[in-house]
Amino acid sequence: MCVSYRSFQHSTWKPLDSFFQKDEKGNIKLPTGKPDPVMPDFSRIDLETLQGDISHWDNLFSTPAKKIWWDNFITRMIKLRDDPDAAEDYQEPDTLIWQLAHIPKVAARQRVVQRMRGGDAEPLIPADLQQQLDKETQETEVS
């Protein structure tokens, strides 16, 4: 597993080496214990307003399923805030897992992006415009 980051959307991905512990072979060691539950602080979150605003954000969701997911998530947070039994279930240690192992691998997506940028298919941006864009988005290095 390789964790990467990038400064800006247009910049290239860079490996992040020192974030995780590694074993003697250099593989990332995933946590083995259970994470501590963190109860959200609802004192500054107006969940009802957020839920009402979802309908205003229709064109920001790429699929209807994403809108449904957010609506379900906010509904679940309202239940968590208002129902003591739901809050107790939320903090049940048997249901807590580390999500790091469930993050999807990026290799397949990177191949698609590389193909779209001039590999097997027609480039998405004409070469002259791509050159101008590259000049505008160059990262300056400060030493």
Segment 24-43, tens digit of pLDDT:
887 777 777 777 777 888 88
Is a pLDDT exceeding 50 seen at residue 123?
yes
What is the reported pLDDT for 80?
87
Type of residue found at 107 = A
**Nearest to 14, CA basis, from 28, 1, 29, 2:** 2
Considering only residues 42 and 112, tell me which one the structure prediction assigns the higher pLDDT. Answer: 42
Q: Is the overall model pTM greater than 0.75, yes or no? A: no
Q: Are 23 and 29 in contact (CB under 8 A)?
A: yes
Q: With H, G, I as helix, E, B as strand and everything else as coil, classify residue 14.
A: strand
What is the reported pLDDT for 32?
75
What is the reported pLDDT for 143?
46
What is the reported pLDDT for 46?
92
CA-CA distance, 11 to 138, in Å (whole number)? 8
Q: Are 34 and 93 in contact (CB under 8 A)?
A: yes
Q: With H, G, I as helix, E, B as strand and everything else as coil, classify residue 95.
A: helix
Q: Residue 14: beta bridge partners?
A: 5
For the chain, the domains span 37-97
pLDDT in tens, 59-111: 888 888 889 989 999 998 899 899 888 877 777 766 666 666 666 655 544 55
